[in-house]
Structure 1
Amino acid sequence: MPSGAVPVGGVPSDPASFDAVLLAGGRARRLGGADKPAAKVGGRALIEWVAAAASGASRTIVVGPPRDVVPGAVRVREDPPAAGPVPALRAGLAEVRAPWVALLAADLPFLRPVHIAALLHAAGERDGAVLVDAEGREQWLAGCWRTSRLRDALAAYTGSSLRGVLGPLGPAEVALPAGERPPWYDCDTPEDLARADGLARRDVL
């Protein structure tokens, strides 16, 4: 476990009220331009896995092209389309009403509600919390943030990287105990998808 990281534990009894912003745009070049969030893993679209992980959200905002796989979601589009994660965050954050927001990639098939709850719990009095992988690298598209502080940071930011806008907020780092499916596992290539599909199908057998 990376030094200083908070381990993922049980779900807190009083998780904070939050909305979820799912970034589901992008060009998916390494998947030949396919609609990555709609790709199936374990018989379920990637974006459906992520929406289920954020099922405790007051509202779910999907940023990307129109899709019908997340019933009840607020659908918005970054301007211009596929402009990158910072414009997508701006578009999604404009629809957030809750005091906390979960900012999530739409291609995380092993993200679960316990991970979202652990992020909210770890944030405590800080401005956010982010998952870190086994090497201690922050996974900026798997985090929870205090909405007001994120809005302020984004309003003052002129760059193009999520690290640039989120890093200065000083988030708590949340690590995963060894042996679990990594919730930060994303599906950027056909090989990633095939491996995730195999793992997901094994889990439901």
Structure 2
Amino acid sequence: MDFDAVILAGGRSSRLGGSSKAGLLIGGQTLLERSLRAARGALTVVVVGPDPGTLPPGVLVCREEPPFAGPAAAIGAGLAALESHHARPDGPGRAPALTLVLACDMPGVDAAVGSLREAVGTGPAGDGVMAVSADGRRQPLVGFYGTAALQRSVAEAARRGALADASVFALLASLDVRGIRVAPGATDDVDTWDDAAALGVSGRIPGHQPDQRPGAPRLKPTLEANGEEPG
């Protein structure tokens, strides 16, 4: 299965005190490294966000404009970078039919991507597939989308001046995307230090103590659960 990958790593991380989610650690790997592993097999990978430093050979880096313009704008920037890369004389040529979109703040995302790959391989997927958590909530920042269809949606939103600060659900609204149930916890994301502690992610602000009170808020596993989009 041929695909490119766009990994979103450019959010403000305001509830993490500005600490980059991409650089948080779990099991000796950064969250960005985990996302890159989940995207293994991609023809070309682009990381959208501040330059994270050393990356595997061939991985591209770009930035949404303006910075912090949200995940829809980041998807647009990633697609543009991939298109330019494929068009280069020394590039890989024509872009693949599918593009994997991933946020970099989900430690267990590898399992979700595996389920989506299986779904794509077993039959028609319309304009793509996205992860659906065990409790039924959709996560559009874990999905394989038709490259041409996604490019059209981005171009239309840009034409209307509706790309910056736009909802990813709005960006995908015109696409025929099938939801695929994934393993429990596969789309749990890190928005706060309490989330990080619950998921075994380290890199906390020195002296910070997660809220351990009974009934304290814990994971917000999908976008629809907390009304915001990582990346």
TM-score normalised by the chain length of structure 1: 0.82
Residue 46 of structure 2 corresponds to residue 40 of structure 1: no
Give the superposition deviation at 1:115.
3.1
Residue 193 of structure 2 corresponds to residue 190 of structure 1: yes
Q: Which has the higher contact order (CA 8 A, sep 6+)?
A: 1
1:107 to 92, 105, 108: 105
**Which moved further from structure 2: 54-63 or 68-77?**
68-77
* Structure ID, larger Rg: 2
Give the superposition deviation at 1:195.
1.7
Give the superposition deviation at 1:83.
1.1
Residue 18 of structure 2 corresponds to residue 18 of structure 1: no
**Structure 2 gap ranges (5+):** 83-94, 202-231
State the Cα deviation string for residues 23-75 of structure 1 (Å, max 9, x = none): 00010001001111111112210011111011111111000001135312100
Report the counterpart of residue 222 of structure 2 in structure 1. Answer: none
State the Cα deviation string for residues 72-116 of structure 1 (Å, max 9, x = none): 210001111111111111100113332210010011111115234
1:79 to 58, 65, 79: 65
Report the counterpart of residue 228 of structure 2 in structure 1. Answer: none
**Structure 1 gap ranges (5+):** 1-15, 199-205
Q: Which amino acid aligns with 1:102?
A: L
2:180 to 174, 181, 186: 174
Determine if contact 1:119/1:131 at 8 Å carries over to the other structure.
Answer: no
Q: Which amino acid aligns with 2:32?
A: I
Determine if contact 1:48/1:69 at 8 Å carries over to the other structure.
Answer: no
**Which moved further from structure 2: 139-148 or 65-74?**
65-74
**Which moved further from structure 2: 122-131 or 151-160?**
122-131
Determine if contact 2:133/2:139 at 8 Å carries over to the other structure.
Answer: yes
- Following TM superposition, where does structure 1 have runs of at least 4 consecutive aligned residues deviating by more than 6 angstroms? none
Separation of aligned partners in 2, 1:142 and 1:125: 15
Report the counterpart of residue 66 of structure 1 in structure 2. Answer: 51
Separation of aligned partners in 2, 1:125 and 1:115: 13
Go from structure 1 to structure 2 and tell me whether the alpha carbon gap of 1:125 and 1:107 turns closer, same or farther (over 3 Å shift).
closer
Give the superposition deviation at 1:190.
0.7
Separation of aligned partners in 1, 2:96 and 2:52: 24
Separation of aligned partners in 2, 1:119 and 1:95: 27
Report the counterpart of residue 143 of structure 2 in structure 1. Answer: 143
Root-mean-square deviation over aligned CA pairs: 1.7
TM-score normalised by the chain length of structure 2: 0.73
